[in-house]
A and B are shown apart, each in its own frame.
Chain A
Amino acid sequence: MDMSQYHDLFISEVREHLKSISELVLVLESDHKDRATIDSLFRSAHSVKGMAASMGFKQIAELAHGMENLMDRVRQGLDVDAALFDILLSGESALSSMVDDIENGTGAGRDTADLLAKIAAYDPSDRTASESASAVADARDEVGTAGIETPLAARGESPVFQQTVKIKTTVLDRLLQTTGELVTVKHRLSMTSKSLRNRDFSEAMESLGKYIRELHDQVMAVRLIPLSLITERFPRMIRDLARESGKEVTFSMSGVEIELDRSILELLGDPLAHILRNSLDHGIETPSEREAIGKVSTGRVSISVARDKDQVEIRVQDDGRGIDPDKIASVAVAKGFIPKEKASSLSVEEKLLLICHPGFSTAEKVTGISGRGVGMDVVRTTIQSLSGSMSIESETGKGSTFVLRLPLTVAIINVLLVTAGKLTLAVPLTAVERTLELKSDEIALIDDEEVFFLDEGMVPVVSLSTILDIDTGAQNKDTSPIFIAEIKGRKIGVKVDRLLGNHEVFVKPLPRPLSAFERLSGATVLGDGEVVFIVDILSKTL
């Protein structure tokens, strides 16, 4: 029977079970006698074995069978200790690798003999080697004969209708793209409707707009994926990192059921993992260091997620040694990133954000955990490429919090339309704090730089035309339209020729060679067909 049609289903279902195994082991680690968890672990291993055997992946079935047998022995009363968790997690890792191999078409050939031997030999009361070897042989013999489940479809039986279906991500992307084009066409029709002044047409347009909005909301809802999809690997990662570095850590997550667009989630996993690794490596102290300064020996690391309108805030917090802003500033000066005189004028937040400068690292030694001084710059750039922002809060001796703010979706966004010279440009509203019109006498010249005063603070003014090298001709206006953006923790007033207002737009990615322009993050087509570039105001130092 041709089983190739079931490959995708097999891969996704086995991954679900492996994810469960990984989570359940961590639960069992905190409560060795949890009968429900022991049973669930047994069932997950059993299911993987059954599915693999029916698909002909003997090596996966063999390893899963070993794990199933081990959990069965635990169910029968075998004592549990730390070695069991390592064995189960190693088994899960090996199975994941083999599933990856199948997905990549590289076969499922991995050497699992040592692992199978460890599984068979596991016995806290120290069983003999000969018994262990015999157990391995038993495990191999049993694979493919006893207790193997065959999927319904493979047995030719009718599956029970489910309320969910699996959809290829390319179909989801195409749905979003088509919906985005509909938004553009709707804007075009709206403009025509205004010039026609026809009541029936206007009413039809209103209905069309309503249905497109509904369609858009539904398409976006389909694309939303819970953050837990990328955070589920973190408890295991933290556990392993803590072990490697001899630290004690409790890790907690909250709000990870909040959903984001899959295009954002795809890019968010690595930055979050990097921040967590940094917290473990640089933040959390060793148990003896913590006790010496009156802290409990076990450190705390957490991820908390909260939704605020169309944004998501992710806070990665630790109760470690914190980051010393002055030390960061001195390192930045020593490395030549900023002049000494500028360092003293920076706010605490600005100093902390210097760790995101490319090549920055205050680690006294390079560790295998958090890398070699690369990373935080990539983290920040990735967050900004998603139209998000990052800030750092820290108190020396008490801990640090990395705060990431991200939009729920990036494909259809709200922008502020502005003009600079002959160009109309779009600025994502997430980058705009507020807009205002300044009279010419409200802008002062200090050290050859234009500034104005806002909320008792001095805000530098830059011109969008200057940033983008746009010729605006002679300018001598009584008022200057300005939007305020927060860049690297500092408020900046960006002067434009005109503020045209807010607009919902569908972001089109830029093909090469346009994608090489660092200040342009995309483009959109307005109702009259005009192509407008979306300016990435946060990406570069102004």
Chain B
Amino acid sequence: MNSPASSYMLFTTGGLRYAVNVDYLGEISEMLPEYPIPQAPRFLRGVVNIHGKLAAVFDLSMYVGTGPVKKGCNLLLLKMPETLLAIVVEQMERMISGDEILSFEPGATTIQLADGTAELLDVELLVDSMEKSFVL
């Protein structure tokens, strides 16, 4: 659950900066062979095998429509119960603690930092809406 007391990882993809709660962080991996997923929308690029566990590769920039990601990306593995999602990230930036956030409005999707803003990722909401989009 996102809150001002949590710590966040900052990363950029598709030219936008995002913040994700560190509670969801699994690991950062280099790109791995991707295998296509039948019936999947384009933002789910494929599936990867990370240490024997399967994770859907999620192109966040395509999902929000900010354009294709650059080359030389990494995978940021996000974990929740029964959930594993590998986000394609262009650059991992740094970890921030809650007190570095200048403004945190409940329900807001953007947080204010000293050096700019970051889009706050609600991982649970993201997975929910993703699933709704491809239930056929």
- Give me the interface of A with B, judged by CB distance under 8 Å: 181, 420, 422-423, 425, 468-470, 508, 510-520, 523, 525, 529-533, 535
Residues of B within 8 A of A422 (CB): 36
Name A422's closest neighbour in chain B (CB-CB): B36
Residues of A within 8 A of B83 (CB): 511-513
- Chain B, interface size category, equals 20 to 34
Residues of B within 8 A of A529 (CB): 33, 49
Contact: A517 with B134, CB < 8 Å? yes
- Give me the interface of B with A, judged by CB distance under 8 Å: 33, 35-40, 44, 47-49, 52-56, 80, 82-85, 127, 130-131, 134-136
Contacts A512-B83, A513-B127 supplied; 8 other A-B pairs, CB < 8 Å: A512-B84, A513-B44, A516-B131, A517-B37, A517-B134, A525-B49, A529-B49, A531-B54
Task: Kindly identify which residue among B33, B35, B39, B55 contacts A511, using a CB–CB cutoff of 8 Å.
Answer: B55
Residues of B within 8 A of A533 (CB): 37-38, 47
- Nearest-Cβ distance from residue A359 to partner chain B, whole angstroms: 19
Contact: A531 with B47, CB < 8 Å? yes
Contact: B82 with A514, CB < 8 Å? no
Contact: A514 with B37, CB < 8 Å? yes
Name B80's closest neighbour in chain A (CB-CB): A512
Name B135's closest neighbour in chain A (CB-CB): A516
- Nearest-Cβ distance from residue B38 to partner chain A, whole angstroms: 4
Bound-complex Cα distance A504 to B107 (A)? 49
Contact: A181 with B52, CB < 8 Å? yes
Residues of A within 8 A of B136 (CB): 517-518
- Nearest-Cβ distance from residue B133 to partner chain A, whole angstroms: 9
- Nearest-Cβ distance from residue A319 to partner chain B, whole angstroms: 43
Contact: B39 with A519, CB < 8 Å? yes
Name B85's closest neighbour in chain A (CB-CB): A513
Q: Is the interface of A mostly helix, strand, loop or mixed?
A: mixed
Residues of B within 8 A of A520 (CB): 37-39
A-B contacts at CB below 8 angstroms, number: 75
Residues of B within 8 A of A181 (CB): 52
Residues of B within 8 A of A516 (CB): 131, 134-135
Bound-complex Cα distance A422 to B34 (A)? 13
Contact: A523 with B36, CB < 8 Å? no
Name B56's closest neighbour in chain A (CB-CB): A514
Name A516's closest neighbour in chain B (CB-CB): B131
Given A181-B52, A512-B131, A517-B134: A423 touches B36 (CB 8 Å cut-off): yes
Residues of B within 8 A of A420 (CB): 38
Contact: A513 with B55, CB < 8 Å? no
Name A181's closest neighbour in chain B (CB-CB): B52
Residues of A within 8 A of B48 (CB): 531
Contact: B35 with A530, CB < 8 Å? yes
Bound-complex Cα distance A512 to B36 (A)? 16
Residues of A within 8 A of B36 (CB): 422-423
In this complex, the member of A423, A468, A515, A516 whose beta carbon has the largest number of chain B beta carbons within 10 angstroms is A516
Bound-complex Cα distance A252 to B49 (A)? 49
Residues of A within 8 A of B135 (CB): 516, 518
Name A424's closest neighbour in chain B (CB-CB): B35
Contact: A511 with B84, CB < 8 Å? yes
Residues of A within 8 A of B52 (CB): 181, 508, 525
